[in-house]
């Protein structure tokens, strides 16, 4: 695994962690809360956002307007069965999701979930570093690169690892602030 590959994979890990953070409720309406929801549409799981227009007219409401009215009940069922924790209100042409204010206990739980996602991201980055280190050591052992080159690459790899774990920590701090702000 070359350094460029490792950096690219680490960047993707940070983006994945950011997407995971986006699915955590903060007390404000956000369409990305529904990113993980799939609807059983004609026998195949289909992402909700490809079946409906999702908007947030205000900070406490998410509106879901299906492209096909026949999917309204399917979408409502998928939201009810998901772990989003919101009750859909179906008025015949669109679905409203009201975002209730978060209690302090719920905010603490959400901060813990965000911390778990951040730790998963950091572990993934460390695993990428480990794989890249193994590759560097093999190249050095097979005399394809010198000892000095191997040490330089290991130093650069450690700097990349630090850079991306710091980025995850920054995202976590940002998300914690979002969650705890009333």
What CATH number corresponds to the domain at position 79?
Answer: 3.30.1360.40
Domain boundary among 74, 98, 122: 98
Distances (CA, A) of 158 to 2, 47, 155: 13, 38, 5
Distances (CA, A) of 27 to 64, 65, 80, 103: 18, 22, 19, 9
**In a shared domain, residues 93 and 107:** no
Q: Is the Cβ–Cβ distance between 154 and 133 less than 8 Å?
A: yes
Domain count, the chain: 2
Burial letters for 9-20: b for 16+ Cβ neighbours within 10 Å, e otherwise? bbeebbeebbeb
**In a shared domain, residues 87 and 115:** no
DSSP state of 53: E
pLDDT on residue 1 = 59
**In a shared domain, residues 107 and 44:** no
CA distance 62 to 160: 39
**In a shared domain, residues 93 and 111:** no
The mean per-residue pLDDT over the stretch 9-37 comes to: 84
CA distance 152 to 155: 5
Domain boundary among 98, 127, 145: 98
At residue 176, the 3 state secondary structure works out as helix
**In a shared domain, residues 72 and 56:** yes
Altogether, the residues listed in the chain come to a count of: 182
pLDDT tens digits along 93-146: 888 888 877 788 888 888 998 999 999 999 999 999 999 999 989 988 888 888
CA distance 13 to 165: 10
**In a shared domain, residues 53 and 77:** yes
Q: Is the pTM of this model over 0.85?
A: no
Which structural domain range is residue 126 located in? 3-22+103-180
**In a shared domain, residues 141 and 88:** no
pLDDT tens digits along 143-163: 888 888 889 999 999 999 999
Domain boundary among 58, 79, 98: 98
**In a shared domain, residues 87 and 116:** no
């Amino acid at each position: 695994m070359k350094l460029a590959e490792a950096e690219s994979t680490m960047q993707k890990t940070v983006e994945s962690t950011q997407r995971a953070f986006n699915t955590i409720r903060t007390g404000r309406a956000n369409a990305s809360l529904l990113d993980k929801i799939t609807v059983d549409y004609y026998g195949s799981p289909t992402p909700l956002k490809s079946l409906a227009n999702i908007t947030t007219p205000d900070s406490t409401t998410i509106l879901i307007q299906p492209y096909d009215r026949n999917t309204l009940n399917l979408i409502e069922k998928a939201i009810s069965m998901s772990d989003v924790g919101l009750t859909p209100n179906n008025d015949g042409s669109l679905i409203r999701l009201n975002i209730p204010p978060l209690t302090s206990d719920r905010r603490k739980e959400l901060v813990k979930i965000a911390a778990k996602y951040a730790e998963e991201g950091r572990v993934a980055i460390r695993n990428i570093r480990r794989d890249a280190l193994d590759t560097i050591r093999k190249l050095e052992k097979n005399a394809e690169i010198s000892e000095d080159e191997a040490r330089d690459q290991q130093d650069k790899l450690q700097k990349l690892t630090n850079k991306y774990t710091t980025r995850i920590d920054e995202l976590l701090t940002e998300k914690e602030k979002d969650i705890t702000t009333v």
